[in-house]
Amino acid sequence: MLAATGSAVGLGNIWKFPYITGENGGGAFVLVYLFCIAAIGIPIMMAEVMLGRRGRQSPVNTMAYLAKEAGSHKVWKYLGWMGVVAGFLILSYYSVIAGWATAYVFRAASGVFVGQTADGIGSLFNDLISDPEKLLAWHTIFMVSTMLVVSRGVTHGLEKAVRFLMPSLFILLLVMVGYALNSGSFSEGVDFLFTFNFDALTAQGVLIAMGHAFFTLSLGMGAIMVYGSYLDKEISVAKTSMGIACADTAVALLAGLAIFPIVFASGLEPGSGPGLIFNTLPIAFGQMLGGTFFGTLFFVLLVFAAWSSAISLIEPLVAWLIEKKGMTRIRASVWSGMITWVLGIGTVLSFNNWAENKIYGMTFFELVDFLTANIMLPLGGLLIALFAGWVMKREHSKDELAIGSTLWFQLWLFLVRFVTPIGVIVVFLNALGLF
């Protein structure tokens, strides 16, 4: 459970959630996101954990094995495959953003935020993202260190670290919210996050909210299946899944509560995009007592959170290369890391040299993010729900879920059979303008 929480809590909660909430008008977006977590995310997480627990192999092989067990077609193994591809696509940009966070560890430690105005903080950020060489260097550092951990298979060490890093991150976010409480614009921030203004929400926004429910819980690509395969027989899948979802959501909401008051107090634009946390939190670190210490610690913890997520993004590819291509773990890690790194260069350039080169109105980074978070993950989740609800034998799913009560099992089955698939399809059609 700790390891899965380490996968779920990452840049998605602290970097992505606030900026997409800002871009999509606030409250109504948050409400749709919370609804998707509860009605779609939790049932699919239970399904993924359950499939992983029964399959006990890498996602591709788990799906192949379970399809065979259920007497179904082996085409289901392509579901595992799509997960492999989605994971490495996501990591290609995730690593670039994690690189920004790494750069900010050093910036915070150097005390450069102290006494800066919002403008000063903004131009510090622009200096970073407009320089492709710097971005490439930080992307490389993050990618190499991730692959070192993956190649040595020392993820257990990282899991131990997660045990105290996650609570520390949580406490530090509380400190930041405490600061925001006194910043003068706390209620504006709260209003923005929790006043449901549905006029501000588009069909595209609903799709982004649903996509983010998958992204933030690490669902739809088999990452959570891997953790399910390590789960002891007696442990309740439902309780574990709900615990992870609650912790994950709490971190995201705290990040929002820490950031938006600063946005309003400093007259910044909520919809200013992926730089939002880097343009806001340093203002607070520059002003608060002990800000250099808290700022450094915050970005260190953010980098660790990104690390434990990055590992779960690349592990399916590495596992597949080892199982199917007979590579050693080290060789598989080097190859996976290299192709991810090369693809990440597209994201590096999206913020500077290629900023004006758009495909369907999106930069390279936006396109990769859109395809993965808003298309591939919900599609993967849909197929997982259909498999768990319709293909797998009931006695098997009931047994693996270890849910105890029949009533709860029926509720879960109803959710994965009907609510989740119909929900995903309606949101897709709605975003295409067909609904």
Out of 221, 281, 367, 382, the only residue in the binding site for ligand TRP (CB under 6 A) is 221
Sole window of 7-15, 106-114, 192-200, 359-367 interacting with ligand TRP (rule: CB under 6 A): 7-15
DSSP letters spanning 45-101 = HHHHHHHHHHH-S-HHHHHHHHHHHTT--GGGHHHHHHHHHHHHHHHHHHHHHHHHH
Sole window of 3-11, 21-29, 253-261, 277-285 interacting with ligand TRP (rule: CB under 6 A): 3-11
Q: 64 or 306: whose CB is closer to ligand TRP?
A: 306
Beta bridge partners of 359: 362
Tell me how many residues contact ligand TRP (CB under 6 A).
Answer: 17
Out of 13, 240, 340, 420, the only residue in the binding site for ligand TRP (CB under 6 A) is 13
Contacts 24+ apart (CB under 8 A), 66-73: 66/387, 66/392, 67/387, 67/391, 69/396, 70/391, 70/392, 70/393, 70/396, 72/391
Q: Contact between 249 and ligand TRP (CB under 6 A)?
A: no
Sole window of 165-173, 213-221, 331-339, 354-362 interacting with ligand TRP (rule: CB under 6 A): 213-221
Beta bridge partners of 52: none
Out of 312, 340, 350, 363, the only residue in the binding site for ligand TRP (CB under 6 A) is 312
Query: Per the structure block, which two tokens stand in for 339?
Result: 């192709």
Pairwise CA distance, residues 264 & 416, whole Å? 40
Q: Answer for the pair 214, 377: CB distance below 8 angstroms, yes or no.
A: yes
Q: List phi, psi (to 5°) of 303.
A: -65, -40
Amino acid at 83: G
Amino acid at 265: A
Q: What's the min distance (Å) between Cβ of 213 and ligand TRP?
A: 10
Q: Contact between 37 and ligand TRP (CB under 6 A)?
A: no
Q: What's the min distance (Å) between Cβ of 345 and ligand TRP?
A: 21
| Residues between 343 and 382 that touch ligand TRP (CB under 6 A) | 377
Q: Contact between 10 and ligand TRP (CB under 6 A)?
A: yes
Q: 214 or 285: whose CB is closer to ligand TRP?
A: 214
Out of 3, 4, 8, 40, the only residue in the binding site for ligand TRP (CB under 6 A) is 8
Q: Contact between 5 and ligand TRP (CB under 6 A)?
A: no
What angle do helix axes 27-36 and 203-216 make, rounded to 10 degrees?
Answer: 50
> Which chain residues interact with ligand TRP by CB under 6 A?
7-8, 10-13, 87, 90, 215-216, 218, 221, 223, 309, 312-313, 377
